[in-house]
Amino acid sequence: MSGPAEELEWALLGAAPAGLRPRPLLLLGPPGSGRSALLFRAALAGAAASPPARVLFLAPRPLERLPPGGAAATGVIQRIHFRYPPSFQELLQLVASLHQTLSGSPSLVMLDGLEEYLSGCPSPHMAAQLVALLLDTANHFSQKLSHMPAGCQLLVAMKCLGEAAEEAEHLSVIDRYFPAQLWLHPGVEETAGSNSCGITRLVRACLSQPGTKDQEWLLQFDPQGDMRISALPYSREKENGTASEKDGPPGIKAHIIVSDSQSGIS
């Protein structure tokens, strides 16, 4: 039986309710919530799967550090194809040409730092055009991968700072393209013991998608940036249907660790 970490990875990689196709997923959270770390973990999980996925990872800049140990040593990282378009316009051009310039069809397309690209976006209409192009590209690769039931899965990570007018406008435009959304909610920080340095941070991950019950996980980042994942029962406030903030996280158990230091826990 799979544990909480594997369940979250499968959710990120496009596991869908029976009879439904995998849905594009939008990963949202404030600064320091672990968006980039979780996205990269999904990339590693996909590349390490059997059969392994061919992963295309797009970001505004290269990762500062790669995870130490097993992932890089076993060559899993080599199955991830990185591209770093620095601006909105260059990202738009790259995505538009992927079906011609990319050799082979990826089964995972990941975009990190969408908010950085949207900061250089001239209008909400252009933001919608970019997302629609990403979806069309994923659909194109899915057709090429007709022998694979899941096709090509699209995952996009975006920093959500609050209710700033421009950000809210962009989010309202692209929101409709992502029926599956994973929100990251930083919780109370736990002070490390006297024999260790730093603080352990807790983040609640809440997955919502049509056709299935909402799911939650607890992410725990230790002072070295390692991420641990455990199950967290989902609860709702009867009055407004939102996740309850009153329920404290359960004890951490059955953790699987992956380094988050490569992304600065962004």
CATH number for 175:
3.40.50.300
Instruction: Work out whether the CA dihedral 177, 229, 152, 90 comes out positive or negative.
Output: positive
Q: Is 49 left (phi over 0), alpha (psi -120 to 50) or beta?
A: beta
109, 56 in Cβ contact below 8 A? yes
Q: Which residue carries 């992502």 as its tokens? A: 178
Element (H, E) at 136: helix 124-144
pLDDT at 237: 41
Question: Per-residue pLDDT tens for 177-220?
Answer: 998 999 999 886 665 554 556 678 889 999 998 888 888 998 88
Using CA atoms, how far apart are residues 133 and 99, in angstroms rounded to an integer?
A: 11
**Domain span including residue 40:** 4-263
Cα 32 to chain centroid distance, Å, stands at 14
The DSSP bridge pattern shows strands 153-159 and 190-191 to be: unpaired
Instruction: Work out whether the CA dihedral 230, 31, 40, 64 comes out positive or negative.
Output: negative
Number of domains in the chain: 1
- Helix, strand, coil % (nearest 5) of the chain? 35, 25, 45
Residue of 22 and 19 predicted with greater confidence = 22
pTM: 0.80
pLDDT at 46 over 80: yes
156, 24 in Cβ contact below 8 A? yes
AA letter at 231: A
